Homo-oligomer: A and B are copies of this chain.
Amino acid sequence: MLYTARCEEFQTEKGQQQAVMMLENFKIEGLVVIGGDGSMKGARALAQKGVCTIGLPGTIDNDLAYTDYTIGFDTAVNTALSAISNLRDTSSSHGRVTIIEVMGRHCGDIALYAGIGGGAEIVIVPEDPFDPLDVCRQIVEGRNKGKRHCIILLAEGAPVTSQELSEFIRKHTAMDSRVTVLGHVQRGGSPTSFDRMIASRMGAYGVKILMEGKSSRAVGIRGNEIVDYDIFEALSMERKANEELIELSRILSI
């Protein structure tokens, strides 16, 4: 356990030189770094200093373009689902609009997956244009069709805060609205089978290519295959919105 959470340190020249020295002291010949954007950049810096280093995508945000899934994402979504299930009880008994803000930085995947899986009426993600009046229209239409309440999943990277949206809804519909910000509850807990499995597969793969002499590679999963890219190339790939799922969340919420 190295406590690298404060990535700033790991990203300075001094921090990296210290890391190289420590690895030499302990005669560590290869390194597998698990983390998000920042850890990956640190891994690449170490590789450039001659340490055989491989990166594994460890973040709940699922915001790395080169891999379909990051380690931790599935656990975070299941935690969000469990919260939605609890919140539905109060939301329906009180006939309210319930806004659930989930994490993901600039990526809407936690909101999208938890929204589809949890049967949310509306999902708001940064990857998809958003008009608050549209949201109000959907809420009122749902009400007219007999829906007693409404659950909205809001990604933290969306162009509106949960508090702002809640006030807007109270003003423009006849309905009461409440906010729950899930926060760091999503960044912990016992990992799911899916996360353990991709972590095990990526970890074994990472060790294998390290032993083959590779370095500065980012390991990921594409389709159902474990793959690896040059770290620099991997980090410069551009994430595309998952149009299939955005469309699916619309279809299922009707």
Kindly state whether residue A65 has any CB partner on chain B within 8 Å.
no
Interface residues in A, total, Cβ within 8 A:
57
Kindly state whether residue A201 has any CB partner on chain B within 8 Å.
yes
Q: Would you call A193 and B225 a contact (CB within 8 A)? A: no
A83: B residues at CB distance < 8 A: 185
Q: Would you call A114 and B187 a contact (CB within 8 A)? A: no
A194: B residues at CB distance < 8 A: 74, 192, 194
A180: B residues at CB distance < 8 A: 181, 183-185
Q: Would you call A251 and B189 a contact (CB within 8 A)? A: no
Residue numbers of A with Cβ under 8 A of B are: 3, 5-6, 68, 74, 77-79, 81-83, 85-91, 93-95, 98, 113-114, 116-118, 178-190, 192-194, 196-197, 200-201, 204, 222-225, 244-245, 248, 251-252
Q: How far is the CA of A239 from the CA of B75 in the complex (A)?
A: 29
Q: How far is the CA of A181 from the CA of B194 in the complex (A)?
A: 23
Q: How far is the CA of A113 from the CA of B224 in the complex (A)?
A: 14
In whole Å, how far is A36's beta carbon from the nearest beta carbon of chain B?
13
Q: Would you call B85 and A189 a contact (CB within 8 A)? A: yes
Q: In the complex, which residue of chain B has the Cβ closest to the Cβ of A4?
A: B93
List 28 interface pairs A-B (beta carbons < 8 Å), by A numbering. A3-B95, A6-B94, A74-B194, A78-B192, A79-B86, A81-B193, A85-B189, A86-B184, A86-B185, A86-B186, A86-B187, A86-B189, A87-B184, A87-B185, A87-B188, A89-B187, A89-B188, A90-B184, A113-B193, A116-B196, A117-B193, A178-B184, A180-B181, A180-B183, A192-B193, A204-B251, A222-B224, A224-B224
